Amino acid sequence: YCQPNCDPPCGPKAVCARPNVCQCFPGYESYNRTAKFTCRPACDKPCIHGYCKYPNVCECDPGFQLDDSDPFKCDPKCGNAGCINGKCSAPDICTCYDGYNATSKYNCEPICENCNHGKCIAPNYCVCDNGYELTLNGTCIPTCYGGCKNGTCVGPNNCVCNPGFEFTALPEVVFDTSTISLCQPSCAGGCKNGSCVAPDTCVCNTGYEKNQEGVCLASCGNRCSFGECVAPDQCACKK
């Protein structure tokens, strides 16, 4: 049995098919960069950022890794976990998505314009800490149990009363805090036998009226001329 002769001899991954005619093995293609006939692995598509190492097998360039969905494409590689909330645009270079800012080489955090006393979990989406609530403009403000009417809630359950008001502790058991104010009006000298309805504004209870000093005293009308009015409509004669 006579074999065809090729001169020069065919290189690796090739066979002498006819005299002086070399043919590559299946999965390989001729590569005539030199005078000697050579064969290299062939891939159905060009390897992007890599080279064809074996038939239809791409080997990525340094700093690149094989794409999960395309066996002929190599993507830039950024660390072991890739870019968090960003895209690896070049080897070891992360580009953050819109609304995110780089906090480290491979990590991007969401941006919130004002997220004090809270955590920014997505662009312009703030989750407030315990004791705070979100306002319509996206900021976190402190909350006070029962609200802080006639005052300012300066911290969680820390109500500072306005001038002319004083702090009043809530009872131990309160079922409806919406009708109770922690800051009640204050009247200088108190408001005995009356109600302090506003700062330094005392309204006498029924059966009482103010004297010249503004003190609420029991009223007996004109029926206690020679006695002492000790309670509404109760006159005690002087001894």
Q: For the chain, what are the domain ranges?
A: 143-185, 194-237
Tell me if 147 sits within 8 A of 176, measured CB to CB.
no
pLDDT band at 33; cut points 50, 70, 90: low
Ramachandran quadrant class, 213 (left: phi over 0; alpha: psi -120 to 50; beta: rest):
alpha
What is the tens place of the pLDDT at every residue in 175-213? 455 556 678 999 988 899 999 999 999 999 999 999 888
Amino acid identity of 157? N
According to DSSP, residue 168 is labeled: -
CB neighbourhood size of 151 (10 A): 19
Highest mean pLDDT among 91-100, 142-151, 175-184, 222-231: 91-100
CA 201 to chain centre: 47
pTM reported for the whole predicted model: 0.61
Tokens 């300066």 correspond to 154
For residue 61, give the 3-state DSSP assignment. Answer: coil
Q: Nearest CA to 116 among 131, 96, 103?
A: 131
